[in-house]
Copies of this chain bind each other. A is one copy, B any other.
Amino acid sequence: MKVHFKRAGIIGVGLIGSSFALALKKYGIVDEVWGYSNSGTSSKKALSLGIIDKVAINLKELTSNCELILVAIPVLAIPDVLFEVSQYVDEKTIVTDGGSTKHFVRDCHKYFKYKNFVGGHPIAGTEKSGPEAGFAELFENSVCIITPIEDTDKDKMEITINLWETIGMKVYSMSPEEHDRIMANISHMPHVIAYSLVDSVKDKYFDGMRITKLAGGGFKDFTRIAKSDDRMWTDIFLANRDFLLSSIDDFQESLNRLKTFIEQKDVVKIKDFLIETKKILLD
Residue positions of A touching B, CB distance < 8 A: 123-126, 142-143, 145, 172, 174, 178, 182, 185-187, 189-202, 204, 206-207, 210-219, 221-227, 230-231, 233-234, 237-238, 241, 244-245, 247-248, 250-255, 257-259, 262-263, 265, 267, 270-271, 273-278, 280-283
* Nearest 7 interchain pairs by C-beta: A230-B274, A123-B216, A198-B277, A199-B254, A200-B254, A196-B255, A221-B221
Q: How far is the CA of A104 from the CA of B225 in the complex (A)?
A: 35
Q: Is the interface of A mostly helix, strand, loop or mixed?
A: helix
Contact status A274-B216, CB under 8 Å = no
A79 CB to nearest chain B CB (Å):
17
Q: How far is the CA of A215 from the CA of B271 in the complex (A)?
A: 25
Contact status A178-B199, CB under 8 Å = no
Q: Besides the contacts A190-B197, A221-B224, A226-B281, what 18 more A-B pairs have beta carbons closer than 8 Å?
A: A123-B214, A123-B215, A143-B215, A182-B211, A185-B204, A186-B214, A186-B216, A186-B219, A187-B218, A187-B219, A190-B218, A198-B281, A199-B254, A199-B258, A199-B273, A212-B283, A218-B225, A230-B271
Contact status B191-A218, CB under 8 Å = yes
**Contact A206 B178, CB 8 Å, known A224-B221, A267-B234:** yes
A92 CB to nearest chain B CB (Å):
31
Contact status B200-A187, CB under 8 Å = no
**Contact A252 B254, CB 8 Å, known A221-B225, A267-B238:** no
Contact status B274-A212, CB under 8 Å = no
**Contact A258 B174, CB 8 Å, known A218-B191, A227-B282:** no
Contact status B283-A210, CB under 8 Å = yes
Instruction: Find chain B residues with CB under 8 A from A238 CB.
Output: 262, 265, 267, 270
Instruction: Find chain B residues with CB under 8 A from A202 CB.
Output: 276-277, 280
Q: What residue of chain B has the Cβ atom nearest to residue A253's Cβ? A: B200
Q: How far is the CA of A221 from the CA of B125 in the complex (A)?
A: 13
A141 CB to nearest chain B CB (Å):
10
Which of B187, B190, B270, B277 contacts A237, CB < 8 Å? B270
